[in-house]
Amino acid sequence: MHATPVVRRGRSTFMRRNARAGYLLAAPAILGFLIFTMVPMVASFVLSFTDYQIINTPSFVGWRNYRELFDGTDSLFFKSLKATNYFVFLSVPLNTIFAFMLASLLNRPIRARGFFRAIYYIPSVVPVVAVTTIWMWLLNPDLGLINVTLRKIGLPTNKWIFSEPTVIPSLALMDLWATGNIVVIYLSGLQGVGTHYYEAVEVDGGNAWHKFWNITVPMMTPTIFFNVIMGFINGFQSFAQAFMMTQGGPNNASLFYMFYLYREAFTFSKMGRACAIAWILFLIIGVLTAVIFRTSKYWVFYEGSDER
C-alpha cells in the first residue's frame, strides 16, 4: 500500500541529484561564457557611448561615436565597409563552389584518396603567418612565382596585392588556399547521401549530371547552408590578410572592417569609438544571418520533410 510513494520519493531524489550533477558539470562552461563573453560584451556596449582612450576615465558622450561614423566625419568607415563587402561577397561564393567541387572529387573511389584528402587539408592547419609569408612571395610583382610563370609562358603579369583594382580579388584567391575545413564538412555530408537515390536515377535513365544536380546538390543544401552562414560570419571578421600583407593598402583599398577597428582601438587608442564599430559589425552580421535564415526555406531541403 505504501510502496508507490516511496518509489516516487526515491525517483525524485535521484532526479534532483542528477540535476545538481548536471549543473555542476556545466558550471565551468557557463561561468566561462559569463566572465569571458557576456561581461565583456556588456562592458563594450556601455563603453561605445563614451569617450575612452585607456589613459583617461570614460566620459559619457551619448550617440556621438555612432553619429560620427555615419555622418561622413570619418570616410574610412564606409571605405572599410565597402572593402569588406567586396571581399566577402566575392570570396564566400568562390570558397563554397570550389570546396564543394573539390569534395565531390575527393568523394569518388579513386586511388590514394586518403593521400589527396590529406594534401588538400594540410593548408588549413598551417599557421597564418606562414601562409601570408608564402603568398606575399607568390604575389610579388617582380620576383613572385606567379608572375615569373606568366612571363615564361608569354602572358601579361599583374601587380596583385600592390594594385587597388586587384588587391581584393588577390586576397580572395589566396583565401581558396585554406578551404580544407570546408572540404571536410562537405565530405561528411556527401557520405551521408544514400546510394539508393543514385540507383533510382540510373533506373530512370539519368546520367552523371542528373545525379549531381537532382540528388547531390539538393541533399547537400543543409551543409551548404551551414558553410555559407559560417563563411559570411568569418568573412566579415577577416583581419590577418590586411594586417600582415597590405596594412590596408594600397590607398586603403583593402582596409577590412576588423583592421579598421583594430587601428581605431590600438593605434589611435579610441576605445569608445572602437566599441561602437564592433557593435555595428555585430548588428550587420546578425541582420545578414537572419536574412539568410529567412531565405533558406526556398532553397534548403531536409530529408524526410516536405518543407524546404
Output the nine-digit C-alpha cell for 37. Answer: 563573453
Note the pLDDT tens digit of each residue in 15-38: 888 888 888 999 999 999 999 999
Q: Which helix (H) or strand (E) holds 50?
A: strand 50-51
Q: How many independent structural domains does the chain possess?
A: 2
pLDDT band (50, 70, 90) for residue 307: low
pLDDT band (50, 70, 90) for residue 110: confident
Q: Which residues pair with 51 in a beta bridge?
A: 59
Distance CA 182, CA 99 (A): 6
Output the nine-digit C-alpha cell for 269. Answer: 587608442
**Containing domain of residue 96, as a range?**
64-298
The proportion of the chain whose per-residue pLDDT surpasses 90, expressed as a percent, equals: 57
Bridge pairing between strands 50-51 and 59-60: antiparallel
Same domain flag for 32 and 161:
no
Same domain flag for 129 and 29:
no
- Whether 93 shows a pLDDT value over 90: the answer reads yes
Note the pLDDT tens digit of each residue in 250-267: 999 999 999 999 999 999
- Whether 275 shows a pLDDT value over 90: the answer reads yes
- Whether 1 shows a pLDDT value over 80: the answer reads no
Distance CA 261, CA 42 (A): 18
Note the pLDDT tens digit of each residue in 139-170: 998 888 999 999 999 989 999 999 999 999 99
Average per-residue pLDDT for the chain: 89
Same domain flag for 153 and 24:
no
Residue 165 located in a structural domain: yes
Provide, for the chain, the percentages of residues in helix, strand and coil under a 3-state DSSP scheme, each rounded to the nearest 5. Answer: 75, 0, 25
Same domain flag for 86 and 182:
yes
Residue 34 located in a structural domain: yes
The mean-pLDDT minimum among 91-100, 130-139, 254-263 falls in 130-139
Q: For residue 59, give the 3-state DSSP assignment.
A: strand
**What pLDDT does 10 receive?**
61
Q: Are 227 and 96 in contact (CB under 8 A)?
A: yes
Same domain flag for 18 and 75:
no
Same domain flag for 42 and 156:
no
Residue 201 located in a structural domain: yes
- Whether 13 shows a pLDDT value over 90: the answer reads no
Residue 197 located in a structural domain: yes
Note the pLDDT tens digit of each residue in 221-253: 999 999 999 999 999 999 988 898 999 989 999
Average pLDDT over residues 203-224: 89
Same domain flag for 75 and 21:
no
Same domain flag for 83 and 154:
yes
Q: Which residues pair with 59 in a beta bridge?
A: 51
Q: Which long-range contacts (CB under 8 A, 24 or more apart) does 125-128 make?
A: 125/180, 126/178, 128/240, 128/244
Same domain flag for 40 and 158:
no
pTM above 0.95, yes or no: no
Note the pLDDT tens digit of each residue in 171-181: 999 988 888 89
- Whether 55 shows a pLDDT value over 70: the answer reads yes
Average pLDDT over residues 181-185: 92
- Whether 6 shows a pLDDT value over 70: the answer reads no
Residue 59 located in a structural domain: no
Same domain flag for 190 and 82:
yes
For 38, 112, 114, 211, 219, the CA distances from 194, given in Å and listed in that order, are: 42, 23, 21, 12, 9
Q: Which helix (H) or strand (E) holds 60?
A: strand 59-60
Residue 56 located in a structural domain: no
pLDDT band (50, 70, 90) for residue 4: low
What CATH number does residue 116 fall under? 1.10.3720.10
Same domain flag for 113 and 170:
yes
Average pLDDT over residues 101-124: 88
**What pLDDT does 11 receive?**
67
Residue 82 located in a structural domain: yes
- Crossing angle of the two packed helices 217-236 and 180-190, in degrees rounded to 10: 160
Same domain flag for 235 and 86:
yes
